[in-house]
């Protein structure tokens, strides 16, 4: 049985180009934010997670940030080196480690640049609530269609050049 093509080549090309432009915009913004803050996007996401959740375990923070526990631990090591967070063992169960912001961490969170461009945020704010919901759902659906839900958001959210070349 021959499977019918659902998407034509032009549609596929348009979708690919749009996703590629989004990836490039995220890459550029990631670099801008890193330069301005001295932190990577995943470090900011984890730092904001600690800020949002308060004193938090790695597991809860991992779920909140959509990162693996191992990745979160690595990020927390870096944030602790920068004296933005501190970790301590639970007095009731020594196996549990909690993380909290330091004063320096609180100051850093308060001064962080937005993860999205100001222009994007301004345009998004002008949308109706219904259109905002539709857009967020559409982006989530695209991520699902790309099987992105199976991927760890990894410690680096920037793109890079492919170093392996295919030779014939």
Q: What is the dihedral of CA 68, 120, 125, 115, to 10 degrees?
A: 30
Q: Which helix (H) or strand (E) holds 89?
A: strand 85-89
Determine contact, residues 106/55, Cβ cutoff 8 Å. Answer: no
What residue ranges define each of the domains in the chain, with the CATH number in brackets?
15-150 (1.10.10.10)
Please tell me the pTM assigned to this model.
0.75
pLDDT score for 143: 86
Per-residue pLDDT in tens (0 to 9) along the chain, 168 residues: 555 567 788 888 999 999 999 999 999 999 999 999 999 999 999 999 999 999 999 999 999 998 999 999 999 999 999 999 999 998 888 888 999 999 999 999 999 998 888 899 999 999 999 999 999 999 999 988 887 655 555 444 433 433 333 333
């Amino acid at each position: 049985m021959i499977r019918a093509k659902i998407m034509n080549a032009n549609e596929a090309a348009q979708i690919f180009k749009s996703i590629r432009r989004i990836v490039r915009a995220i890459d550029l913004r990631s670099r801008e934010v890193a330069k301005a803050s001295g932190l990577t996007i995943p470090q900011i996401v984890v730092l904001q997670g600690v800020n949002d959740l308060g004193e938090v375990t790695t597991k809860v923070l991992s779920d909140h940030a959509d990162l693996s526990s191992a990745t979160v631990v690595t990020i927390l090591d870096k944030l602790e080196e920068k004296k933005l967070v501190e970790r301590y063992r639970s007095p009731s169960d020594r196996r549990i480690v909690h993380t909290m912001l330091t004063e320096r961490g609180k100051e850093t969170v308060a001064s962080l640049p937005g993860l999205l461009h100001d222009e994007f945020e301004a345009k998004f704010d002008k949308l109706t609530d219904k259109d905002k919901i539709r857009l967020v759902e559409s982006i989530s659906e695209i991520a699902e269609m790309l099987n992105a839900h199976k991927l760890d958001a990894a410690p680096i959210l920037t793109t890079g050049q492919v170093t392996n070349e295919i030779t014939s």
